[in-house]
Structure 1
Amino acid sequence: MIKKRWIFLIIVILFLQFYQLPYYYSQPGGAKVLDEVISVDGGFTEEEGSFMLTTVQMGKANLFFYGWAHLSPYRMIYPEEQLRFEGETDDEYQHRQLMAMTGSQEIAKIVAYEAAGMEVEYEHKGVLVTTLIEGMPAYDVLKIGDHIIAVNGKEVLTAEQLIDQLQGMDESITVDLTVIREGQEQIIEVGFSAFPKEMNAPPGRVGIGVSAPVTDREVTFHPEVTIDTSQIGGPSAGLMFSLEIYNQLVSEDITKGYQVAGTGTINEEGIVGRIGGAGQKVVAADKAGADYFFAPNEGGASDSNFIEAKKAAEDIGTDMQIIAIDTFDEAIAFLQSLPEKS
């Protein structure tokens, strides 16, 4: 009888461990010191403090994690459809996150090099189509691997430019996309439609059905810079990447001896954008002993990442200061205003 009970208990434990639910689970991750993963050839290496990216640990939820998530405000559960596109596998989702991290690194390099007055060379190839949304107009006329180089004859060099060109449309409109496919240039007419409900798009918003377009270009930096972040995905470390790279390009140590953590996307204009899991990243930064945490201010929005981070800092009782950041230049100005840490 005892053996049967043990066998039953083992079966229950294995079921709780390995039965995956249609949810993702997340919790505070860690803080990675960036001078250990970023290296500018011949760059400044005498940092007294450090810049740190903060992470959220995420994976598929089993029954154990689903229950555990309800015991802490810093453990979260997300339905699959909130994170993954329809028909997208877990491996494809992870690949998309890694692609976003790669794009984030490139933009961070551009922002830092231009701010430091260093040389950046570009060879543009267009906007790469990586994902098409089934049931939307582009699904039947575009192909994965196409490069979009113009909208209605107006050149587009980046994914941001493509998105800007396609905004403000309605379902009665069509546009002509100039596309490079297998080395041949062609013009493809495409219309607009509402997004599938599971994508939770704002009411009335329409699109052609190209998801996660990628700016495809070769960018050369002088001096060379390398970033090794292994399997960390997503674009949320853009701000912190740019600060670490900039610090290695200039002769002064802008850390001033402080441990500076933070989060936030960044675009080529140096504008810092919203991310997910700000509160969880505050917990991670506090555990790592950070003095300051940079959080996207989003122009002072009432529900900004800064507000979320501030509430989390108060909740856990940390001495770490939360700093509202809208731009790369604001972050630099704040650091320059600090006295040297004694």
Structure 2
Amino acid sequence: MPRRTATMLASTLILIVLLCVGVLTTPPYSEMSPGPTVNTLGESGGEPVLQISGRKSYPTSGHLNMTTVRVTGADYRMNIAEVVYGWLAHDNVVVPHDTLYPDGKTEEQSNQENAEEFSQSQESAKVAALRELGIPVQTRVVVSSVRKDSPAQGRLHAGDVIKAVDGAPVKAPDDVAKAVTKHKPGGKVVFSVVPAKEAAAAEKAGKEPTAAQDVSLTTVKSDDGDRAIVGITAGTDHTFPFTIDIKLADVGGPSAGLMFALGIVDKLTPTDLTGGKFVAGTGTIDEKGAVGPIGGIEMKLVGARNAGAEYFLTPSDNCKTAASDIPDGLTLVKVGTIDDATKALEKIRSGDTAGLPSCSTG
């Protein structure tokens, strides 16, 4: 066989082998890509995303779009060819598999966690929006969960309202932990609680639950040290003066909080918040209206611009990363609170955008 032919044959075989290795080898990576955006002022699945009853709401225009990121599933293993393509593609990001699914978390576990975070973000968005508008919201500390085989199992239940611990009034979830950890393991701690069913009945009647009963528990040692615990997680629950429903399926995580809150503010005020402009954004939000950072900001910018957004409300802590690669035609607006966002929207709808707080790589 002529040397040239042999060389070409050998090169072809090597290329085939490399291609096979690229397709069959599965390195531990996952991929993130731009997901769909949804206008919180519009509809999803044929019904309004935000539904308000029991209080006057106002017409809106324009867009306040929440943004999402698509990720490969926990059980999906990218081959080398897909990894290389993902690295080269401008709109995709390849990350270590453990970044999305740490500690061997399954896709089911991740979905459950995302669903819980999404639900909590909706609650926080409602509270933040109403407080931004000066509308009172009743807040109470409740039992969020009870650990199996703990002293609290069968004695306290999720939804029970915690009025006091050892006679000291409870104002925030941290008050519960502080009161319990004052004891040594084996000590007695007394919870004054309104049972969940009675609390729910009071809420339905528009009243504050008051009929508390005492529950005495013996503390045990925590798994991570000598702290005293009873096996509950405390959280907050709220009574709203009217009904706000958020209807959006197949979305998870906490990052839509800011845009939900702004959508609620827009619907409850006669002022058209966007002035008809296409605004998108992202960010967690707490009950005090503080905006927190999120993951996948690069993908969300691309998704927003592809949908037609002109402005993007960007959490302060994401600004540096976001500013490193801004899609053409998209203006980043730096926000740290819901108040920052409403003031920025005032500038956007008035056309006075020169003073908008911007993001930089510095």
TM-score, normalising length from structure 2? Answer: 0.66
CA contact (8 A) 2:186 2:218 kept: no
Give deviations 1:177-227, integer Å, cap 9, x for gaps: 8778x9955242444749xxxxxxxxxxx99999xx67353x332331111
Q: Is the 8 A contact 1:114 1:120 kept in 2?
A: yes
Contact 1:282 1:293 in 2 (8 A): yes
1:263 to 253, 267, 282: 282
Structure 1 residue 333: Cα displacement: 1.4
> What letter corresponds to residue 341 of structure 2 in structure 1?
A
Q: How does 1:80-229 map to 2 (within 5 A)?
A: 80-84=97-101, 86=103, 88-128=105-145, 161=174, 185-191=216-222, 193=224, 215=235, 217=237, 219-229=238-248
Query: How far does the alpha carbon of each residue in 1:253-276 deviate from its partner, in whole angstroms, 9 at most, with x for none?
Result: 111221111111111111111110
| Greater C-alpha radius of gyration | 2
Name the SS of the counterpart of 2:128 in structure 1: helix
**Aligned equivalent of 2:330:** 320
Please say if 1:63 is aligned against 2:82.
no
1:30 paired to 2:50? no
- Tell me the distance in 2 between the aligned counterparts of 1:20 and 1:152: 56
Q: Which residue of 1 aligns with 2:204?
A: none
2:356 corresponds in structure 1 to: none
Distance (whole Å) between structure 1 residues aligned to residue 266 and residue 280 of structure 2: 14
Which residue number corresponds to residue 237 of structure 1? 256
Q: Which residue of 2 aligns with 1:308?
A: 321
CA displacement 1:235-285 (0-9 Å, x = unmatched): 011111100001111111111221111111111111111110111111111
Q: How many residues align?
A: 295
Q: Which residue number in structure 2 is paired with residue 135 of structure 1?
A: none
How high is the sequence identity, in percent, across the aligned residues? 26
- When the two chains are superposed, the root-mean-square deviation of aligned CA atoms in Å is 4.3
- Structure 1 residues 82 and 254: CA distance shift in structure 2, 3 A: same
Question: One-letter code of the match for 1:40?
Answer: I
Q: Secondary structure at the match of 1:63?
A: coil
For 1:158 and 1:252, the matched residues in 2 are separated by 34
Q: Distance in 1 between matches of 2:249 and 2:349?
A: 34
Looking at structure 2, the residues matched to 142 and 59 of structure 1 have their Cα atoms a distance apart, in angstroms, of 39
Unaligned runs of 5+ in 2: 1-18, 44-48, 197-214, 353-362
Residue 300 of structure 1 corresponds to which residue in structure 2?
Answer: none
Query: Could you list the per-position Cα deviations for residues 29-70 of structure 1 after superposition, in whole angstroms to 9, with x for gaps in the alignment?
Result: 121111221122255342221100000012324325544322
Displacement, 1:327?
A: 0.7
- The answer to which of 148-157 and 243-252 deviates more is 148-157
Bigger mean CA offset, 265-274 vs 43-52 = 43-52
Shift of 1:310: 1.5
Task: Answer 1 or 2: which has greater strand percent.
Answer: 1
